């Protein structure tokens, strides 16, 4: 009897061992999870842009679903925060202005420049309250200026000061995201605000403000679409689909700005008049990254390094892909 019990226990242990060997190990489970994650693209977007329309009408979701991909969307207050997420692997694709990729690359973010929109210098500006004593850029010397650190407007401020011979150290910067900067601006806690559309258009229409300078002749103000290097290297077909959908949407918006404003208004919680003003002065189109664009970005990077705004010199070309 005791022998039977011993044999039974031995058999049970053996079968348990075999079952354990045939089940996925922890590593295999992770592998399965990774494989599932690889079929999801995480896209970061901001308050306004072509990606907002793609998210709302689900055209991109539907196009990528045919390739077996699910799209997960995450909103960010500005480009720097979006690229921080890309740096840590939280998103695979997103859009920002010119300056954020410079700061991100200097922080060793594994990003790839994918495409860009044409220059849009009217889409960002330095504004002051209507009754402010500040009339020109020269009057900014010694003043407190609000802006989102590392965003496109950071470069606009640098170039505007440089043009008038004002040293960057001769102004006081208050680094604030758009919502906080708007509050500080209205309370008089900052003397001027450097901001982009649609926040710029909204402030123009809802407060008594004056534009003392936009980016015309100072900065190109391009919008970039960027991907994580790992995702780009493994999913070129997915990026091709994104490019195609972005291109179609850009063309539609350029021909239908009022309709696009009406469509976007409930999606992003901004009024139609603000969005129509933004779209009317915006440039449209989608372009592959060119040598000229890389050189322009390198110029921004060089100037930021000279001003010690980034910790090291970078080569923008290293964050570009050979796919043209």
Q: Are 245 and 114 in contact (CB under 8 A)?
A: no
Q: What pLDDT score does 15 carry?
A: 34
Both ends of the chain: CA-CA distance in Å? 78
Q: What is the pLDDT of residue 146?
A: 98
> What is the reported pLDDT for 10?
37
Residues 6+ apart with CB under 8 A from 121: 214, 215, 216, 217, 218, 219, 220, 221
| 49 in Cβ contact with 199 (< 8 Å) | no
Candidates 102, 130, 115; CA nearest to 307 is 102
- Write down all domains in the chain, each with its CATH number in brackets: 38-118+222-319 (3.40.190.10), 122-214 (3.40.190.10)
Instruction: Report which of residues 12 and 32 the model is more confident about.
Output: 12
pLDDT in tens, 209-226: 999 999 999 999 999 999
Q: What are phi and psi of 303, to 5 degrees?
A: -70, -40
Q: Which residues of 63-84 are buried (b: 16+ CB within 10 A; e: fewer)?
A: bbeeeebebebeebebbbbbbb
pTM confidence score: 0.80
Quick: pLDDT tens for 71-87: 999 999 888 999 999 99
The Cα 78–Cα 113 span in angstroms is: 17
The answer, yes or no, to whether residue 91 has pLDDT greater than 50, is yes
pLDDT at position 38:
53
Kindly report, residue by residue over 273-316, the tens digit of the pLDDT: 999 999 999 999 999 999 999 999 999 999 999 989 999 999 99
Give the pLDDT confidence of 47-56 residue by residue, as tens digits.
888 898 889 8
Query: What is the per-residue pLDDT across 111-164, written as a single tens digit (0 to 9) for each?
Result: 999 999 999 999 999 999 999 999 999 999 999 999 998 888 999 999 999 999
Structure confidence by residue, pLDDT tens digits, 22-35: 333 333 333 333 44
Instruction: Note the pLDDT of residue 321.
Output: 67
User: In this predicted model, what pLDDT tens digit does every residue of 236-269 receive, in sequence order?
Assistant: 999 999 999 999 999 999 999 999 999 989 888 8
């Amino acid at each position: 009897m005791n022998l039977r019990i011993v044999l039974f226990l031995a058999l049970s242990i053996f079968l348990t061992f075999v079952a354990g060997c045939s089940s996925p190990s922890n590593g295999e489970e992770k592998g399965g999870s990774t494989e599932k994650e690889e079929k999801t693209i995480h896209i970061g977007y901001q308050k306004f842009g072509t990606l907002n329309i793609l998210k709302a009408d689900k055209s991109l979701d539907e196009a990528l679903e045919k390739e077996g991909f699910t799209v997960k969307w995450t909103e960010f207050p500005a480009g720097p925060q979006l690229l921080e997420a890309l740096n840590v692997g939280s998103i695979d694709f997103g859009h920002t202005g010119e300056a954020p990729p410079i700061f991100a690359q200097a922080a060793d973010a594994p990003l790839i420049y994918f495409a860009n929109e044409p220059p849009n210098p009217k889409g960002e500006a330095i504004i002051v309250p209507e009754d402010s004593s500040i009339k020109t850029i020269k009057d900014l010397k010694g003043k407190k200026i609000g802006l989102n650190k590392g965003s496109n407007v950071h470069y606009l401020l640098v170039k505007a000061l440089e043009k008038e011979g004002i040293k960057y150290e001769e102004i006081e910067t208050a680094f604030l995201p758009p919502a906080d900067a708007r509050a500080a601006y209205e309370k008089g806690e900052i003397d001027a605000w450097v901001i982009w559309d649609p926040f710029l258009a909204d402030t123009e229409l809802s407060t008594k403000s004056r534009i003392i300078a936009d980016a015309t002749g100072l900065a190109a103000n391009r919008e970039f679409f960027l991907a994580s290097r790992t995702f780009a290297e493994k999913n070129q077909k997915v990026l091709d689909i994104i490019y195609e959908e972005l291109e179609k949407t850009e063309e539609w918006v350029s021909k239908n700005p009022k309709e696009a404003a009406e469509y976007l208004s409930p999606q992003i919680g901004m009024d139609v008049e603000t969005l129509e003003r933004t779209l009317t002065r915006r440039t449209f189109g989608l372009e592959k990254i060119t040598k000229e664009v890389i050189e322009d970005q390198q110029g921004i990077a060089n100037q930021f390094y000279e001003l010690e705004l980034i910790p090291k010199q970078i080569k923008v070309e290293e964050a570009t892909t050979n796919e043209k």
